Amino acid sequence: MTDVRTTRWTRADLDRLADDPATTAPPIGDAPTRVLADRDVWDLWPVQEEDGSPTVLNGRELWMTLSAPASGHPELRHDMARLWLLARTGDNWTDLGPVFPDGASPGSREWSGCAVRRPDGTVSVFYTATGTRGEARPTFHQRVMEARPALITTDGTVRLSPEAEHRVVLRSDGHAYLPADEVDGGPGRIKAFRDPAWFRDPADGSEYLLVAASVPWGDRFMGAVALARWTDGAWRLLAPLVVAEGVNHEIERPHVVVHDSRYYLFFCTSRQAFHPPGAPTGLYGFVADALTGPYEPLNGSGLVLRNPPAQPDQAYAWWVLDDLRVVGFTNYLRGDGADPRHLPAAEARASFGGTAAPVLRLGLHGSTTHLTP
């Protein structure tokens, strides 16, 4: 069994958080051009090679995103989310259609994950199946799935084969990690077992999945980064890498980047997920000498990147690439500090970006970080 040295993210860490231009994103200003004209996109990630670099075909990077029709209250998009395939050249995006055919997933919608191109010509698509196909109203049962469609490149086109088995590869165990199976709930109000991110450890070649999870520590559930290792033909859950001990109940999209032989663990979380409140929506991170820890918070507090105070919800769901580009999506462009989840539909829709945010770039120096031009 791999020995994980769990790190506790505590109030003492967050007390070190300070306003700093080096960790503050510039204001976005006007909403960027939409990736898809009639669909919202959020939670973007590259189809990656096994070394972590983005897959490039015909001079274009392959990407996936969550997507839903661009109508109604933006927060309802989570109840209609589908995985979508894109090609990227610089700031230009090409629509390659849904990743899976209608009805392929066992869930009522598809939530975030990752994708890895395999040597046999398939793509391992790890994602979160949420709810149950055909349910009368959305529920929140979450499990980690894998499908391995063939990557087809003919006549200059790129697509994924519609014939692929969808298998549950990982569930919360109900003990170390709480079951994410609520019937009622919504963003920020449910337990988590989602957002799988694949990683091959260069130290020993082993495959791992990082998963956003909830643990039963203390009086209320807490956000955590779960770790699973591919062992003897199955994914085996290990102890958590990081637990937000009493400070945050919803860590999202954890992933690891190796830089200068150190392991950088990143995740995002929103200002509404902190208790007590006070920390900003942002990208947070930790660093260790081994995948299994122990980790120390970057910049003392864990904060790597925050939205500017005048636009506290301007972007979210950041993903750090192997070359330290940081990709997120444009969220709510408003400066009044109102919780967007509680705004009337028309008002929320008017300020919602629903598209890729301007790309940022990160500098890493041991346990300190900064945004670079």
pLDDT band at 372 (very low <50, low <70, confident <90, very high): very high
What's the pLDDT tens digit per position in 346-355? 999 999 999 9
Correct CATH for 7-372 of 1.10.150.120, 2.115.10.20, 1.10.3720.10, 3.30.420.40:
2.115.10.20
pLDDT band at 219 (very low <50, low <70, confident <90, very high): low
Tell me what percent of the residues of the chain surpass a pLDDT of 90.
Answer: 88
Q: Are the CB atoms for 64 and 86 separated by under 8 Å?
A: yes
d(CA 283, CA 130): 24
CA angle (313 as vertex; 177, 327 as ends), nearest 5: 75
Q: Name the nearest CA neighbour of 114 among 50, 33, 161, 158.
A: 50
Report residue 168 as tokens: 């549950």
* Residues in a beta bridge with 24: 306
Q: Name the nearest CA neighbour of 44 among 253, 212, 226.
A: 253
pLDDT band at 226 (very low <50, low <70, confident <90, very high): very high
What's the pLDDT tens digit per position in 3-35? 999 999 999 999 999 999 999 999 998 889 999
- What pLDDT does residue 362 have? 98
What's the pLDDT tens digit per position in 267-279? 999 999 999 899 9
pLDDT band at 188 (very low <50, low <70, confident <90, very high): low
Tell me what percent of the residues of the chain surpass a pLDDT of 70.
Answer: 98
Give yes or no for residue 217 having a pLDDT over 90: no
pLDDT band at 189 (very low <50, low <70, confident <90, very high): confident
Report residue 256 as tokens: 């690891």
d(CA 61, CA 311): 30
Is 111 annotated to bind a ligand? Reply is no
Is 229 annotated to bind a ligand? Reply is no
pLDDT band at 338 (very low <50, low <70, confident <90, very high): confident
- Give one DSSP letter per residue of 193-217, joined into a string: EEEEEEEE-TTT--EEEEEEEEE--
Give yes or no for residue 306 having a pLDDT over 50: yes
d(CA 200, CA 116): 10
pLDDT band at 187 (very low <50, low <70, confident <90, very high): low
Q: Where are the domains of the chain?
A: 7-372
pLDDT band at 184 (very low <50, low <70, confident <90, very high): confident
Query: Count of alpha carbons within 13 Å of 300, Cβ hemisphere only?
Result: 9
Residues 6+ apart with CB under 8 A from 217: 243, 245, 246
DSSP 24: B
- What pLDDT does residue 1 have? 41
d(CA 121, CA 154): 13
Task: Bin 84: left if φ > 0, else alpha if -120 < ψ < 50, else beta.
Answer: beta
Q: Name the nearest CA neighbour of 207 among 196, 194, 215.
A: 196
DSSP 277: S
Q: Are the CB atoms for 151 and 93 separated by under 8 Å?
A: no
Residue range 78-85: average pLDDT? 97
d(CA 275, CA 246): 7
Give yes or no for residue 92 having a pLDDT over 90: yes
Residue range 72-92: average pLDDT? 96
Residue range 240-246: average pLDDT? 95
Is 195 annotated to bind a ligand? Reply is yes
What's the pLDDT tens digit per position in 352-369? 999 999 999 999 999 999
Least confident interval from 41-50, 130-139, 187-196: 187-196
d(CA 231, CA 115): 20
- How is the chain split among helix, strand and coil, in percent rounded to 5? 5, 50, 45
pTM of the model: 0.96
Is 11 annotated to bind a ligand? Reply is no
Report residue 252 as tokens: 């999202």
Q: Name the nearest CA neighbour of 292 among 354, 355, 210, 233.
A: 210
d(CA 290, CA 299): 19
Is 194 annotated to bind a ligand? Reply is yes
d(CA 174, CA 95): 39
Q: Are the CB atoms for 250 and 273 separated by under 8 Å?
A: yes
- For residue 5, the SS3 value is coil
DSSP 347: H
Kindly report the length of the chain: 373
Give yes or no for residue 148 having a pLDDT over 80: yes
